[in-house]
Amino acid sequence: MAQKKYSKSKLKLFKKSIEEKLSEVEHDLWDIKENLDKNTSGTASLSQESVYSVHMADAGTDSYEREKGYHFMNRETDYYKHLTKAIERIEDGTFGICGICKELIPEERMLEVPNATKCVSCKENEKLVI
């Protein structure tokens, strides 16, 4: 039977790794927001007077790029929330424990996917059921 918890030193390592990822995500979110602000303000395709001066394809491309930016922002925001919850799990002692089989998730997986709540085999079995 596998050990049921990571040591305090391992948890400290995980927390540091997650905090670095949080910092990267914050930076990415800032870049996306800045890009969205730049693309939505002063864009000729958005002003009422220039409706006929902009080619329909250009307006469509601008709209698509804004939509893609919002999609990226939502995805990064969700990832940020999952990382924050991972830190909460470190603090409450449930980090790295599979939510299904209650076994310890391998360290390699937790370093690569720190927001994981299931071991690989349980995650694969979940995909088979769906």
- 109, 117 contact by CB (below 8 A): no
Least confident of 12-16, 76-80, 106-110, 123-127: 123-127
Q: What is the pLDDT of residues 13-60, one digit of tens each?
A: 999 999 999 999 999 999 999 888 886 655 444 444 455 556 777 777
Residues paired with residue 104 on neighbouring β-strands, in sequence order? 97
CATH of domain 8-129: 1.20.120.910
Tokens of residue 103, six digits: 């076994």
Q: What is the pLDDT of residue 35?
A: 86
How big is the CA angle at 109 (ends 107 and 110), to the nearest 5 degrees? 65
What is the value of pTM for the model shown?
Answer: 0.77
**Pure H helices in the chain:** 8-40, 56-92, 107-112, 120-129
The secondary structure of residue 118, as a DSSP letter, is: S
The pLDDT > 90 percentage for the chain reads 62
